[in-house]
């Protein structure tokens, strides 16, 4: 499947003749916008799960925590929010999202509609839709519980190693925010709650599909097979879709403040991660973007669970803390560079090669960095080299003395 490499396709801003400076952090002047965004997040959660559902109640509490944490971490300045300073941007947000849709999204949606029409036309057949819905809800809550347990184990390890976390971050561009007197317990809990809230919001579209759409036992096998085929096709265009959406998340002020900014507001740890997104951003990516929620619940459960865990592992840019990246993994992707320095790369930036271990992944995803390279990114860059040095120092500290001793022994023998 051919993917465009035209910079004009990925780096286009509508509605303004002046390109604003890309956003990477929140400022105290964003407080009103941030608060409005959190109110909208709470509203989306309530409309998805029901305003009295326990997931909603947890979401409301987390939204309130985030507003308080923003005031503590960034301060408060009362100015006219960007939502009112440039209201036309709200219109362009939806233009961007609609123009970035790919045909495979409509195929996934069409399969869901087709199955529901077939069930509606054949009420006498043993579809057992209620049974599947109940089973799907069990899978949904299993995803929530399993990922939350995994995230909590990581939280405990971060708290136990909080001084090491501080020490590492002070050797990176995060030293502008993390200093000797920074409350690392607050920073770590902020990252943890960022991840949990992102998870709750992200799954909202899938929960609605489970509650209001029907699935048939009779169609389980063919629909699941078609979903897997669709997903493999989706992997061919995911990086291209993500690059455009991600670039806008940093280069459109409204999209940074209301959609993507929360993903960069917390420390660069696996605690924050769900699917490369902020709060509202995740919800709208999975309604107007990604096909995952439209799959059969069994398939959706598999992809949501594996992708969220993978994203958590991939975002652990504080070495030596659970979940630890596998040895050598940091050298095969450059998303750490995006969190630790220049905004590029905007794509997934995987460089997995053509080995058998990743042969089943389409090249457009397996070697996704090709798109960034064609758009001007440099693989060998100072930020990446510094990050690799941190991993060499902290990733497996018990291994270093043995290596040093072996080096001395070799030197003495020579």
Handedness of CA 96, 98, 102, 105 (dihedral sign): positive
- pLDDT band (50, 70, 90) for residue 400: low
Domain count, the chain: 2
**Residue 32 reports pLDDT greater than 50:** yes
Domain finish residue from 251, 286, 317? 317
* Same-domain check for residues 130 and 261: yes
User: Measured between alpha carbons, how far is 269 from 188 in angstroms, rounded to an integer?
Assistant: 9
* Same-domain check for residues 191 and 340: no
Q: Would you say residue 201 lies in a domain?
A: yes
Q: Would you say residue 8 lies in a domain?
A: no
Tell me if 295 sits within 8 A of 301, measured CB to CB. Answer: no
* Same-domain check for residues 380 and 307: no
Q: What pLDDT does 3 receive?
A: 67
Q: What is the pTM of this model?
A: 0.92
- pLDDT band (50, 70, 90) for residue 43: very high
For 361-388, what is each residue's pLDDT tens digit?
A: 888 999 999 999 999 999 999 999 999 9
User: Measured between alpha carbons, how far is 118 from 106 in angstroms, rounded to an integer?
Assistant: 18
For 123-148, what is each residue's pLDDT tens digit?
A: 999 999 999 999 999 999 999 999 99
* Same-domain check for residues 205 and 329: no
Domain holding 202, by residue range, is 84-317
Interior/surface letters 237-258, b for 16+ CB within 10 angstroms, e for the rest: bbbbbbbbbbbbbbbbbbbbbb
* Same-domain check for residues 257 and 311: yes
Residue 324, CA atoms < 13 Å, CB-side half-sphere: 13
């Amino acid at each position: 499947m051919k993917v465009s490499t035209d910079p004009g396709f990925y780096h286009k801003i509508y509605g303004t003749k002046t390109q604003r400076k890309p956003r990477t952090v929140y400022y105290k002047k964003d407080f009103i916008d941030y608060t409005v965004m959190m109110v909208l997040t709470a509203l989306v959660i309530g409309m998805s799960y029901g305003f009295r559902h326990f997931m909603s109640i947890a979401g409301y509490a987390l939204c309130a925590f985030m507003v308080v944490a923003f005031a503590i971490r960034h301060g408060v300045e009362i100015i006219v929010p960007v939502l009112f300073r440039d209201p036309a941007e709200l219109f362009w947000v939806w233009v961007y999202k609609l123009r970035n849709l790919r045909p495979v999204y409509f195929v996934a949606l069409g399969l869901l509609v087709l199955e529901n029409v077939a069930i509606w036309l054949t009420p006498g057949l043993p579809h057992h839709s209620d049974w599947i819905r109940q089973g799907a809800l069990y899978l949904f809550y299993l995803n929530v519980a399993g990922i939350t347990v995994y995230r909590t184990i990581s939280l405990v390890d971060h708290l136990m190693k909080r001084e090491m976390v501080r020490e590492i971050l002070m050797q990176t561009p995060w030293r502008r925010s993390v200093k000797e007197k920074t409350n690392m317990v607050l920073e770590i809990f902020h990252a943890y709650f960022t991840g949990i809230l992102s998870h709750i919001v992200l799954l909202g579209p899938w929960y609605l599909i489970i509650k209001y759409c029907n699935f048939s036992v009779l169609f389980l096998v063919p629909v699941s097979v078609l979903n897997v085929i669709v997903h493999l096709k989706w992997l061919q265009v995911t990086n291209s879709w993500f690059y455009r959406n991600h670039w806008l998340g940093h280069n459109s002020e409204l999209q940074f403040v209301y959609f993507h900014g929360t993903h960069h507001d917390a420390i660069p740890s696996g605690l924050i991660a769900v699917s490369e997104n902020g709060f509202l951003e995740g919800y709208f990516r999975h309604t107007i973007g990604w096909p995952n929620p439209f799959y059969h619940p069994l398939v959706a459960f598999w992809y949501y669970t594996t992708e969220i865990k993978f994203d958590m592992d991939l975002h652990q840019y504080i070495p030596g803390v659970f979940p630890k990246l596998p040895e050598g993994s940091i050298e095969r992707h450059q998303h750490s560079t995006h969190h630790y320095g220049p905004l590029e790369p905007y794509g997934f930036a995987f460089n997995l090669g053509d080995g058998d271990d990743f042969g089943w992944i389409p090249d457009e995803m397996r070697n996704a960095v090709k798109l960034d390279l064609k758009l001007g990114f440099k693989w060998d860059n100072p930020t990446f080299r510094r990050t690799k040095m941190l991993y060499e120092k902290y990733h497996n500290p018990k291994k270093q003395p043995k290596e040093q001793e072996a080096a001395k022994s070799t030197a003495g023998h020579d």
